[in-house]
Every structure is written in C-alpha cells, then in structure tokens.
C-alpha cells in the first residue's frame, strides 16, 4: 500500500514536521555546512548541487511512500515556518536488521531545547500509526551524548554496538512498536 505524502504535516506543541519541497534546498544546504552536523554525519557534507540532487530524488519518492518500507525525510520547522533541522526514516543496509533507521540533525542555533526528541517522538508515533512496522532502530556515536539522550528520551533502548562500513562503531538503539 503506497500513499502520497507531499502534503504531510505532523504538528507537535512547538514544531511542524513536513515533507520537504525543492524550495527547501538552500535551508537544507545551510545545515549541511554546519560542522556540528558534518563532524558527526560526514556524508552530509554536500555541495549545493549534491543537496539539490538528494532533495529532488526524495521529493519524487513522496508519491510512493510505503509505510511497511519507509524512506522518508522530513523538515523540522518552527511554527512560523523556519526549517531548523531534518529527520529521516530509511533503510540502513550497513546495520543488518529489517527495521528502518531514524536519523536526525538540528541547527546549532536550536540545540539543547528538546526539539529533536519532540520531533522523533512525533514521527515515530505517526509511522507506527500508519503501518505495520514492528520497530525502528537508530545509531549514535558512543561519544555523542546529545544524540544518545535524544534516543533515550524518545523511548529507544540501547541494544549494544554495531560496526558500520566506513563509519566506525556506533551504539545501537531500538524503539519497539507500542503495545
């Protein structure tokens, strides 16, 4: 069962999670230039052209969203519309599980305010409501305490560590589908 998510909006108390549009390329690219993000997620150090290609590819995929096999980036926005981060739910082939990965990044100007935990909880709840997934997984570098806190505050539990090709060792977390 596929559905079109181009108009997806998930509202929380302080945020709006929404589908990206091609109008977001400059804001997304600005995020990819922040060393606070690329030092942790080195594959996000993209040129403007790479960012545009990535966003174009994902925007086309909103038409064919499958909640059983999600591949979905969402913009994390303040109520006035400013994009302050992103959240993605997609396969992580380098971690040998059948569950998609929850990944996220937020601008350095909006860290430490609980926005990412709020976004992760809202997106996880929405995804579990729309489809049959038994769980989500996430990884965090052992030394990156803020990311670990986001996952724990969002209900994920640490399950051990995993090796990701070319990226090193990560702590591995799972969020089971709510009963």
Phi, psi of 168 (to 5 degrees): 100, -160
Question: Residue 164 and residue 152: Cα distance in Å, rounded?
Answer: 21
Question: Residue 163 and residue 172: Cα distance in Å, rounded?
Answer: 9
Q: What is the pLDDT of residues 70-107, one digit of tens each?
A: 989 999 999 999 999 999 998 888 888 889 999 999 99
With beta carbons less than 8 A apart as the criterion, state whether 137 and 103 touch: no
pTM listed for this prediction? 0.91
Q: Up-side HSE of residue 59: CA atoms within 13 Å toward CB?
A: 13
Question: Residue 120 and residue 133: Cα distance in Å, rounded?
Answer: 16
Q: What is the pLDDT of residues 23-67, one digit of tens each?
A: 999 999 888 888 776 666 666 667 889 889 989 998 988 888 888
Q: What is the pLDDT of residues 156-176, one digit of tens each?
A: 999 999 888 767 788 999 999
CA angle at residue 160 from 158 to 161, to 5 degrees?
120
């Amino acid at each position: 069962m596929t559905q079109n998510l181009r108009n997806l909006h998930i509202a929380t108390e302080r945020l709006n999670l929404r589908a990206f549009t091609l109008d977001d390329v400059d804001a997304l690219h600005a995020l990819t230039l922040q060393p606070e993000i690329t030092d942790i997620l080195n594959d996000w150090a993209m040129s403007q052209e790479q960012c545009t290609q990535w966003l174009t590819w994902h925007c086309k995929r909103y038409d064919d969203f499958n909640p059983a096999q999600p591949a979905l980036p969402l913009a994390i926005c303040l109520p006035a519309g400013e994009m302050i981060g992103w959240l993605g739910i997609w396969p992580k082939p380098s971690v040998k599980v059948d569950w998609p990965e929850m990944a996220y990044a937020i601008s350095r100007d909006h860290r430490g305010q609980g926005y990412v935990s709020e976004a992760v909880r809202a997106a996880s709840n929405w995804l579990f409501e729309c489809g049959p997934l038994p769980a989500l997984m996430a990884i965090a570098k052992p030394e990156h305490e803020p990311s670990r806190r986001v996952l724990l505050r969002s209900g994920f539990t640490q399950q051990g560590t995993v090796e990701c090709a070319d990226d090193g060792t990560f702590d591995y977390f799972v969020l089971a589908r709510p009963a």
